[in-house]
Amino acid sequence: MFLLWALPLALYLFYRWSIATYDYFEKRNVPYVKPVPFFGQVLSFFTQGRHAVDVASEGYRMFRNTRISGVFTLRTPAYLVHDPTLYKQMATKDFDHFTDHVTDFRIETDPILARSLFFTNGAHWRQHRSGLSPAFTGSKMRSMFGLLSKSAGDAMGRLLVFAAGKPFTMELRDLYSRLGNDVMTSISFGVEVDSLTDRDNEFFLKGKRLAQIDGLPGLKFLMATTIPRVFHFFRLSGMYKDVNEFYTDAVARNIQLRETNRINRPDFIHLLLQARKNTLGAEKHEDEALQDAGFSTVKEHTLEQKMGEGKMNWADIDIAGAAASFFFGGIETTTTLLCFTSYELAVNPDIQERLRAEIDEQRESLADGRTPTYEVLQKMKYLDMVVSEALRRWTPLGLTNRKCTKNYTFTNTDGSQVTIERGQNISIPLKYFHLDEKFYPDPLRFDPERFADPNNINQDAYVPFGAGLRNCIGSRLALMQAKCILFYMLSNFIIKPDTKLTIPIVIDETSAGLNAKHGFWMNLVPRSA
């Protein structure tokens, strides 16, 4: 008899507890996405058949006349920023209220990810960012450009040999991930590999597992971001154990080899070893001329360290974490940018021909007629317009986040005061800023001419690499790598849609990142054919 009434009572009490916080935004006059009891919005990530970025940004589409909206992660209230100007203010002027990212990996379970710049917070992040910033200046990028260009040029030569003067079909995500693997293995770990010929080399196989953001790794990353307490309760890890061990060992052996044989190579390991010795600095006069890698280059901000924090002590494992995070960005983010740029060039042949004409014009000024320099890529205006538009139309990281570290009050569009409380999370829908017709007329159309005059762009609403002090430190590297590979690709091939390519592209909704559901199948036609 007891069970007959105890179980319903327990379920009712659990239900009341699960919805007890759901009047939070109503009390504060903030529009919010209606939550599912207990789950809030979390259940939608797994049941709605939409991409995670679209689910998380639902409030942006629902509430058009507000600077912010509310959402619940399980029972916990969080916010979605609608106003790009508000985001820019939070990220710069009021940065001390939003210094941390939401995702928190633990060193015990994720020794590499927990040490990567994106996932560190607090004093560790400030030390990390201050130590790394001099490694990403224009002059440092130029010094590494020779390695990048050689790797991409050699790979393109092998691709031409494979073509033998005839058109062939290739899936471009596989191609660009292999090119990216070779480039980033060279400049991140100081190792030369050939993933086009040696298709199962260890660096490519481990790199593929490192950069995997669909399937189980994507699910775990989503959990670490949306329900971190559950993620940590089950002691889950974001990276495979064998991948952690591989990169830790690879970096340690590489450092020992360099120090034993006094090897100097202009790559990230060399720069991080300089950081360890406190000899890494920026060449200010040279950097001024080289800082601009294109319209999308993020603005550098001076980061002031707090009293008593000291400098970063770069142990081998810290260098491995930094190198692996550069490697991930160079493969995943840049590969995504290259894939969607190539897709747009294939379905817009007039744009492709105009870009190729600019490339051919620059090739005439090169000593060997084929190998670009850092400075040549810098001055290619139409190439920059194409890449900038691709980053707008197909933003690789469509959503970013911050954790409020100090109560923050601002005025909403209706004149009411909104206070984001310490410990609450905010999400910023970068994709939806870029696809909002308020900022970009006919936003789904790929049109590089938008960037012909930078003064016509609302720069608060163009943030492919984020904004403020926690913007993407590797924007120059990503732009340099993407432009270099596009230069070589269009110098040697005409990109045409293959019959297996889905037009318009269909997005893979199960991937945590941005990817095509049916692949990027293209017909590559050698220009000599």
Annotated binding site: 472
- CA dist 79 → 120, 226, 428, 504 (Å): 22, 13, 9, 32
Torsion 262-268-274-276 (CA) sign: negative
Residue list for the binding site for heme: 472
The residues near 40 (Cβ < 8 Å, ≥ 6 apart) are 71, 72, 73, 74, 75, 76
**Burial of 472: CB neighbours in 10 Å, binned 0-12, 13-18, 19+:** buried
Integer Cα distance of 382 and 451 in angstroms: 9
Integer Cα distance of 442 and 244 in angstroms: 44
Peptide bond into 441 cis (omega under 30): no
Whether 402 contacts 79, CB under 8 Å: no
Edge-to-edge strands of the sheet including 400-403?
68-73, 76-81, 425-428, 400-403
Integer Cα distance of 51 and 49 in angstroms: 7
Integer Cα distance of 499 and 138 in angstroms: 41
Integer Cα distance of 356 and 199 in angstroms: 29
| Torsion, CA 8, CA 12, CA 13, CA 16, rounded to 10 | 180
Triad 360, 365, 371: Cα angle to 5°: 75
Cα distance between the two ends of the chain: 85
Integer Cα distance of 151 and 194 in angstroms: 9
Whether 251 contacts 319, CB under 8 Å: yes
CB atoms within 10 A of CB 240: 15
State both tokens at 58: 């639902």
**Burial of 394: CB neighbours in 10 Å, binned 0-12, 13-18, 19+:** buried
Integer Cα distance of 21 and 230 in angstroms: 19
CB atoms within 10 A of CB 232: 16
Integer Cα distance of 464 and 153 in angstroms: 27
Whether 461 contacts 430, CB under 8 Å: no
State both tokens at 182: 């070779």
Strands 168-171 and 521-526: what pairing?
antiparallel
